[in-house]
Amino acid sequence: MSSLRSTATLLTLGAATLASACVMADDVHYNQISVRAEVNQEVQRDLMTVTVYTESQDTDPAKLAAGVTETLNKALDQARQIKDVTIRQGSRNSYPVYDDKGQKITGWRERAEIRLESPNFAALSKLTGELLGSDMKMGGMDFSISNPARKASEDTLLKDAVTAFKARAQLVTDALGGSGYKLVNLNLNTSGYPQPYLRAPVMMMKAARADAAPTPDVEAGTSQVSVTADGVIEVSIP
């Protein structure tokens, strides 16, 4: 009986070892090569964003809030008259102002922002100049790539990346003396879309004529966008 049990155990171990060896054999892949290709494109920043704000101080917080709201509403009404400008209200904060010893509140200060966005640089620049000529101040100006421009450049680069990958895969196959290759997997990744291009809050201003509102002298620039194609090919070697 003991001999039979030993034989059964050996057979079980032998079967398990054979199954493990088969799994390991299935996991071995020959003639597989990792290939990477990258393509780039300069994309024009076509979206302009301007942040303007009003800031005031008063001993009466209610009077302060009313004054800030009035200034803000006036700027919003002016901005709504301009076509192709998207208006978003930014942050609004108030905080106490203390005396020199930092113990007694002597007043209150409040700041409220408006974010203006447009693909029409000329219209937004003119509006910005007019707002800065009133009670608003410049908080910042930046440029970015709009969603339609982003998608258009991405679609073009994806096709170019696949073409570049295929060319590099064929080059590797020829270098190894292979008769051909098959694609095992392929990953496409887009990168390089920048954070908005920030301009200094204090900008160079110019006037079209002496009695005109000053208009910011803007230049959006471009950003380099990249798409990489990372994949694995299996080369057929005679």
Strand 47-58 and strand 205-206: pairing?
A: unpaired
The number of domains in the chain is 2
Strand 180-191 and strand 222-236: pairing?
A: antiparallel
**Gap between the Cα atoms of 219 and 19, Å rounded:** 67
When pLDDT is cut at 50, 70 and 90, the band that residue 28 belongs to is: low
Does residue 121 sit in the same domain as residue 158?
no
**Gap between the Cα atoms of 22 and 33, Å rounded:** 23
When pLDDT is cut at 50, 70 and 90, the band that residue 215 belongs to is: low
Does residue 65 sit in the same domain as residue 90?
yes
Does residue 136 sit in the same domain as residue 79?
yes
H-run or E-run covering 62: helix 61-80
Q: How far is CA 224 from CA 12, 47, 132, 219, in A?
A: 62, 16, 32, 16
Q: Is residue 213 part of a domain?
A: no
Does residue 56 sit in the same domain as residue 95?
yes
pLDDT tens sequence across 39-62: 999 888 999 999 999 999 999 999
**Gap between the Cα atoms of 205 and 17, Å rounded:** 80
Does residue 65 sit in the same domain as residue 175?
no
The mean pLDDT of 23-44, rounded to a whole number, is: 78
127: CATH: 3.30.70.2970
Global pTM value = 0.65
CA-closest candidate to residue 141, choices 151, 127, 154: 127
Does residue 63 sit in the same domain as residue 41?
no
Does residue 173 sit in the same domain as residue 229?
yes
167: CATH: 3.30.110.170
Which residue segment(s) compose the domain that 233 sits in?
Answer: 31-46+146-201+218-238
pLDDT tens sequence across 122-173: 999 999 999 998 889 999 999 988 889 888 998 999 999 999 999 999 999 9
Does residue 69 sit in the same domain as residue 184?
no
Does residue 150 sit in the same domain as residue 173?
yes
CA-closest candidate to residue 214, choices 199, 231, 202, 229: 202
Does residue 176 sit in the same domain as residue 101?
no
Give residue 201's identity as a one-letter amino acid code: P
Q: Provide CB contacts within 8 A for 128, sequence distance 6+.
A: 50, 52, 116, 138, 141, 215, 216
Q: Is residue 7 part of a domain?
A: no
Phi–psi pair at 47, nearest 5 degrees: -130, 125
**Gap between the Cα atoms of 60 and 106, Å rounded:** 10
Does residue 94 sit in the same domain as residue 78?
yes
